[in-house]
Amino acid sequence: MLKPEEMTKVVVVGTKDILEETVDTLHRLNLLHITDYDGSESGFSIGKPHRIASKLSEYLVTLRSISNQLRISEKDSVEKKVSVKEIPSMIESKLAELEEEVSKRQDAIRAVEAELKAQEDLEDAIKPLAALPLSLEDYRGYESIRVFVGFVDSEIEDLIRDKTEQYELYTGTFEGRRVIALAVPVEKEAEVSKILQDESTFVELRPPNLEGSPESLLEGIRSKKEELSAKLTELESERERIKEEYAEFILSSEEYLTIETQKAEAPLRFATSENSFVAEGWIPLERYDEFERRLSESTGGKIYVSKLEVDEEVKDVPIALKNPKIAKPFELLVNTFSTPKYKEIDPSIILFITFPLFYGLMLGDIGYGVLLIFLSWIIMSKVKSGGLHELSIILLYSAFSTIFFGIIYGEVFGLPLFNIVHHGAVEYGILGINGPQIGMLHLPVHRFAEVESLLTLVLVVGILHVTLGLLIGIRNVTVEHGFKAAVLEKLCWLLILFGGIMAIVTAMPAIMGGAALNTENPIFAGGIVLVIIGLIMLVKGEGPIAIMEIPTLLSNIFSYARILAIGLSSAGIALAVNTICKDVLFAQGGVFFAAGILVLILGHTINLLLGIIGPGLHSLRLQYVEFFTKFYEGGGTQYNPFGFIRKYTEE
Amino acid sequence: MVEAEAAGLIAIGAGIAVGLTGIGAAIGEQSIGAAAIGAMAEDEKFFGKGLLMTVIPESIVIFGLVVALILLFVF
């Protein structure tokens, strides 16, 4: 919590005869984040992959190409895992046969597709000619006659007649354009050709080298196309059958081969001498004993494992975030921004509280909250792992928070939950009762009526959030550069922030006009003094240019006003939809009633979608831009242990 | 009469505050959006970051909205 998993650097040394067992155990443990050996030590060179590696990769390439051709997709779970003992023999016996079968089918499919394309091209070439009363053999084969064929929109017969009396012109219409076939003596070819070239609408057609009337040819092409399509469907269904039959084999052996290739190539990351090997890496400190015990068991005690002392300034420690299960999903949001450095605070657990809080403050509606619970539940049950699954858990937390604030705001799909009184008239809520009094709070806190106090509330939330960020900042800088630097870099901002608040709040009546500014008010004076001290420290710590950053602090705080603003806009849309339906459409009855229902469903669906995107992104933005910038640097490497989590196979 | 006039002017002021900041944010978002789409075309993993970058200029509208709210409800 708050800090990444404590890591320790380990070194594993052994003789080459136990290399295989060691790699096997390391892979099974899935613990060691290997630091690749860079070949810099004299006497040690980078290890060579196991000789089986090239064969395994060859298999893997074949298998992946088959899997691509069959378009096999990953599955979340399989009914029965395949034992790894069976796989090598299965690969030996099935892979070659499968490859041949798949490539044969694939070739056949490609050939049919190419043929189909050729027939379609031919059809396109013949279709316009069907408008002319000629057979295809009429277009060629003359010694003294040249035939031009093409589309032309304008009248050209007069132009031709000027050049020669000996011509024959056929015309027809195809898809609204004029098709011509023009026969002229060969000696006039150049002149006629020039006329046609000058005609901007002329597009030449090339009759295919076939015989017979266009109609009968088209008839033949059509039946051939039908035949080819049927063949294609058949081949594709056969490919589908192969896919069904072999999917399990392909998935499990791909996993097996991936694992075996990883193992076979592991020595590439080790330092090796003639008879020994050295592997270096990081593991979580609390798993060290298990790590050592398992390695020595599997090699009969012939291996040397030790923790390595590391310097204070460690840069390459891999980061494994450590949080309670309930806050785990928020690690995704932290890692999306950047993985923290080893000594930095991991803010996941803070996001676990503030992200849903801001979300709920923004959306705050019981109806939408309940729908979001259903939505996140649906996503969670469909997607079992990965980023989307984690996002849906975050959405679930946010939905609960939305319901909580929905009760406080007294809103259900924009309708009032409790009775509200405005301008002396009572608007009855869904429950038909007045809101209860809980301590100081009288429910409901109606968002449109209480804009002023809610604005103050969200700004206070903002000040607290930024303060928390600065406090963590002080801690982070203290750890990295000492307390003095922390005071000059971060504490000064806190002084400026709180001094500024003290001064502005006391000066508020004067700023708004009316009262005179009382400069002798101790709070005002104290605030000014704090700001000045903070400024001096800031200039000393970061140089005079840092003064430019002060407006950023102000805009950071104002930025939290978005919590109210987005809430109001979402409540406003809901209110508008309800008003349109209730006062305008439902009041008229009949067809308008149906239209009203449509508007109601559509309006609230759109508002709900906006309600997921808007509050989600803006709540996240408040974390990333306003909060993280106060303390977070990031840039760590994620912990990525050597190993694999098996999905389709078992040992 | 004077009061009604003042209320009208306040409403116009609030409209200008939201409208102009909206235009400002839109101008900002258009180039970020285009760049984000470009980045996504290269690497789909950029979607999350791109979406987030795209909403950053929205702050300006929110400041406008705050000004409008203060005008409408506080004054």
Is the CB of B74 less than 8 angstroms away from the CB of A625? no
Tell me which range, A466-475, A517-526, A619-628, is most confidently predicted by mean pLDDT: A466-475
Please give, rounded to a whole number of angstroms, the shortest distance from the CA of B60 to a CA of chain A.
9
ipTM of the complex: 0.78
**For an interface test with A, which of B69, B72, B75 has the most A Cβ atoms less than 10 Å from its Cβ?**
B69
Q: What is the pLDDT of residues A598-608, one digit of tens each?
A: 889 999 999 99
Is the separation of the CB atoms in A496 and A538 below 8 Å?
yes
Cβ-based neighbours of A69, under 8 Å, separated by 6 or more? A102, A103, A106
Tell me the C-alpha distance between A250 and A343, whole Å.
44
**Residue the block writes with tokens 């295809």:** A136
Q: How far apart are CA A102 and CA A113, in angstroms?
A: 16
Considering only the beta carbons, identify the residue of A451, A559, A569 that sits closest to B59: A559
Provide the residue type at A487 as one letter.
Answer: V
| Domain ranges across chain B | 20-74
Question: Which tokens go with A164?
Answer: 């020669």
| Dmax (CA) of chain A | 115
Residue of B nearest to A455 (CA): B66
Instruction: Look at A90-99, A131-140, A544-553, B49-58 and tell me which has the smallest mean pLDDT.
Output: B49-58
Question: Under an 8 A CB cutoff, do A565 and B74 touch?
Answer: no
CATH number of A125-220: 3.30.70.2750
A617 touches B: beta carbon within 8 Å: yes
Out of A561, A618, A625, the one facing B66 most closely (by C-beta) is: A561
The answer to whether the CB of A317 falls within 8 A of the CB of A342 is yes
Residue A348 pLDDT: 93
- Beta-bridge mates of residue A438: A441
User: Measured between CA atoms, how close is B61 to chain A, in angstroms?
Assistant: 9
Mutate to test the interface with A, among B45, B62, B72, B73 (most CBs of A within 10 A): B62
The pLDDT confidence band at residue A114, using thresholds 50, 70 and 90, is very high
CB pair distance less than 8 Å for A565 and B55: no
Residue written as token pair 């704090």: A530
Supply the Cα-derived Rg of chain B in whole angstroms: 17
Decide: helix, strand or coil at residue A222.
helix
Q: Which pLDDT tens digit goes with each residue over A560-615?
A: 988 998 888 888 889 889 888 888 887 787 788 888 888 899 999 999 999 888 89
Is the pLDDT at A533 greater than 90? The verdict is: yes
Best of A508, A562, A627 to disrupt the B interface (most B CBs within 10 Å) is A562
> Residue A324 has what pLDDT?
92
A residues 321..340 contacting B (CB < 8 A):
336
How far off is chain B from A448, nearest CA to CA, in Å? 9
The reply to whether residue A336 touches residue B49, judged by beta carbons under 8 angstroms, is yes
- CB spacing of A559 vs B62 below 8 angstroms: yes
Indicate if the alpha-carbon torsion angle A28, A30, A36, A37 is positive or negative: negative
Looking at chain A, the number of H-run helices and the number of E-run strands are 18, 20
Terminal Cα distance for chain A, rounded: 34
A205 close to A150: Cβ distance less than 8 angstroms: yes
A559 near B CB under 8 A: yes
Judged by a CB distance cut-off of 8 A, whether residue A625 touches chain B is: yes
Dihedral over alpha carbons A382, A385, A386, A389 (to 10 degrees):
50
A40-93 confidence digits (pLDDT tens):
888 888 888 888 888 888 888 888 888 888 888 777 666 777 888 888 888 888
Tokens for A122, please give them: 């031919």
Cross-chain Cβ contact A625/B56 below 8 Å: yes
d(CA A333, CA A339): 10
Chain B residue numbers touching A565 (CB-CB < 8 A): 62, 65-66, 69
The two beta strands, A649-650 and A82-83, are: parallel
**Band of the pLDDT at A155, cuts 50, 70, 90?**
confident
How many angstroms separate the Cα of A409 from the Cα of each of A327, A363, A448, A629? 27, 10, 10, 31
A chain contacts of residue B56, beta-carbon cutoff 8 Å: 621, 625
Tokens 């016996």 correspond to A93
Q: What is the pLDDT of residues A356-401, one digit of tens each?
A: 999 999 999 999 999 999 999 999 998 887 888 999 999 999 999 9
Q: CB of A511 within 8 Å of any CB in chain B?
A: no
B contacts of A625 (beta carbons < 8 Å) = 56
Substitution target in A451, A622, A623 with the highest count of B β-carbons within 10 Å is A451
- Mean pLDDT for chain A? 87
Q: Model confidence over A233-285: pLDDT tens digits? A: 999 898 888 888 888 888 888 888 888 888 888 888 899 888 889 988 899 98
B73 CA: distance to closest CA in chain A (Å): 7
Closest CA to A167 of A151, A146, A152, A153: A146
Phi/psi of residue A483, nearest 5 degrees: -70, -35
* Contact between B63 and A558 using a beta-carbon 8 Å cutoff: yes
Measured between beta carbons, which residues in chain B are less than 8 angstroms from residue A561?
62-63, 65-66
Q: Is the pLDDT of residue A312 over 60?
A: no
pLDDT of residue A225: 92
Say if the Cβ atoms of A565 and B69 lie within 8 Å: yes
Kindly report, as residue ranges, where domains of CATH 3.30.70.2750 are found in chain A: 125-220
Closest Cα of chain B to A353: distance in Å?
Answer: 20
- What DSSP character marks residue A560? T
Closest by CA to A151, choosing from A128, A125, A122, A123, is: A128
Min CA distance, B33 vs chain A (Å)? 15
pLDDT of residue A353: 95
Q: How far apart are the first and last CA of chain B?
A: 17
- Nearest CA-CA distance, residue A644 and chain B, Å: 22
Interface of B with A (CB under 8 A): 48-49, 51-52, 55-56, 58-59, 62-63, 65-66, 69-70, 72-74
Closest residue in A to B60 (Cα) is A559
pLDDT tens, position by position, A490-532: 899 999 999 999 988 888 777 776 667 777 788 888 899 999 9
A341 in Cβ contact with A388 (< 8 Å): no
Q: What is the pLDDT of residue A314?
A: 67
Q: Using CB atoms, pick whichever of A558, A565, A618 lies closest to residue B55.
A: A618
Whether residue B19 has pLDDT greater than 80: yes
Measured between CA atoms, how close is A616 to chain B, in angstroms?
A: 10
Relative to beta strand A637-638, strand A318-319 is parallel
Closest residue of chain B to A458, computed from CA coordinates: B66
Is-contact A69 A250, C-beta < 8 A? no
Q: Which residue of A has its CA nearest to B64?
A: A565
DSSP conformational letter for A414: T
HSE-CB for A104 with a 13 A CA cutoff: 8
Task: Note whether B69 contacts A451, CB cutoff 8 Å.
Answer: yes
CB within 8 Å: A621 and B55: yes
Helix or strand (DSSP H, E) at A46: strand A45-46
